[in-house]
Structure 1
Amino acid sequence: MIELLKNIEFSPFLISFKLAAITTIILFIISLPLAWYLSQTKSKIKPFLEAITALPLVLPPSVLGFYILWALSYNSPIGAFFQEYFGVSLVFNFYGLVIASCFYSLPFMVQPMQSGLEGINKNMLEASYISGKGKIETLFKIALPNMKPALLTAIIVTFAHTVGEFGVVLMVGGSIPGETKVASVAIYEFVEIMDYTNAHIYSIFMIILSFLTLLGVYIFNGKQKRSPVGM
């Protein structure tokens, strides 16, 4: 077993973790104001925005991956712009993976945040406004400290989901060793060549990671529910 572990190439895992960390940070910055708006607004466009945000949950990864690939390619205005003015190709490299992952993992960050914000006592928010605090100050000083379980769930589930991505990242990034070959793609390639030993090792590692991630979320959320208000 030790000999098998010595022969494992860890770069796919490192790329997966790097991709997940960057995606989670970007989505946190983007999703926080979006979730705050969705939780507070009564606008008629709210269902429309919620539907767009949740779309990656129901779209086949191949469909989402195809349109992201097209949008980032040189044949599209976006891809052509980056290629011409910055000399950067957004397909089959790490930059493209980050963009694709942000689209694919968006609902996993927004929805827990929105639920957490909607669950906050409205009287607390109104008291904050009455005391003279603005929306931004209320969000950071009142809302976020009172939605720690939802916040942690959003961050960890987004990270874990991004680590486990396959279809979208394969279509957009391909399988370039050391750049776009993530762990899920490596497992797929092991199965293709019938190298079931390495496929088992990589898969077991991913199962353990996913289990520990979910276990940590449930333990933390359980402690938060048992803690007195204000702790």
Structure 2
Amino acid sequence: MGDILALTVKLATVSTCMLLVLGTPLAWWLAQSRHWVKEVASAVVALPLVLPPTVLGFYLLVAMSPEGPVSRALAPLGIAPLAFTFPGLVAGSVVYSLPFVVNPIRNAFEAAGRRPMEAAATLRAAPLDAFFAVALPLAGPGLLTGAILGFAHTIGEFGVVLMIGGSIPGETKVLSIAILDYVETLQWGTAHRLSALMLGFSFCVILTMTVLEKRLLRGLR
């Protein structure tokens, strides 16, 4: 059980870090751009909100299979197919949880408006310096909310994880998959303990991060 929990936390942590790194500049572009392409990009980002996880997981599995486009693109770099591997789970988790991270950060950037960046420009601050010194601190609550939702959403993933990773002990068998395995083998006691652990763990994470978010908001005021 300890290995399963450790793998689940590892997946959520790595996925959340990647989501923040990839999602923050994407959210900034969506908040600042006035090009019509951003509407198409917004729709693509939001797809996981309406697509059944098994559908998204199926297409990700096809893309990551040995003959899939992702595997073919990575083959010249010496990277093996991602299907049924931990890196594949991370990639699937990033795609599936993307809107849960991008949307709060985008909303925070939009709420801050353009004036802070314009003021920084009048002080001759470089755009990149102004982004890190002005925009990011103002969007702090949104970043924290995105991290909360991304982490919690990854912890509770099932359909996408099952389709991409299966149930390989020590590699892709996370908590949600382990619970299904124990239920199917009629090990109700173990399934109950894991379910209760996931419930308590998720609640504690959300509660802790919510308290931190409120304190951050007070600090900004």
Q: TM-score range by the shorter chain?
A: over 0.9
Q: Does 1:60 align with 2:32?
A: no
Secondary structure in structure 2 of the residue aligned to 1:75:
coil
Match of 2:112 in 1: 120
- Would you say the 8 A contact 2:138–2:220 is kept in 1? no
Q: Provide the residue aligned with 2:196 in structure 1.
A: 204
RMSD: 1.7
Mark the structure with the bigger radius of gyration: 1
Partner of 1:171: 163
For 1:4, the equivalent position in structure 2 comes to none
Alignment-derived partner of residue 29 in structure 1: 21
Alpha-carbon distance in structure 1 between the residues aligned to 2:215 and 2:14: 28
CA distance in 1 between counterparts of 2:42 and 2:157 reads 22
Matched, 1:220 2:212: yes
Match of 2:112, SS state, is coil
Matches of 1:113 and 1:157, distance apart in 2: 11
Q: Which residue of 2 aligns with 1:72?
A: 64
In 1, the alpha carbon distance for the partners of 2:67 and 2:115 equals 52
- Return 54-63 or 146-155, whichever deviates more: 146-155
Post-superposition offset of 1:81: 4.4
Identical-pair percentage: 41
Matching residue within 129, 138, 149 for 1:137: 129
Aligned equivalent of 1:162: 154
Please, which runs of 5 or more residues in structure 1 have no aligned partner?
1-8
**Structure 2: gaps (5+ residues):** none
State yes or no: 1:151 paired with 2:143.
Answer: yes
- Summarize deviations over 1:66-103 as a string: whole Å, max 9, x none: 00000011122322344575261211111211111111
- Aligned runs of 1:78-97 on 2, under 5 Å? 78-83=70-75, 86=78, 88-97=80-89
Q: Is the 8 A contact 1:13 1:182 kept in 2?
A: yes
Instruction: Tell me the TM-score normalised to structure 2 length.
Output: 0.93
User: Could you say what secondary structure the match of 1:119 adopts?
Assistant: helix
Taking structure 1 as reference, are residues 126 and 164 closer, same or farther at Cα in structure 2, changes over 3 Å only? same
Q: TM-score, normalised by structure 1?
A: 0.89
Within 2, Cα distance between the matches of 1:87 and 1:96? Answer: 11
Kindly provide the CA deviation profile for residues 31-65 of structure 1, in whole angstroms up to 9, marking residues without a partner as x: 11111111111111121111101111110001100
Residue number in structure 1 paired with 2:35: 43
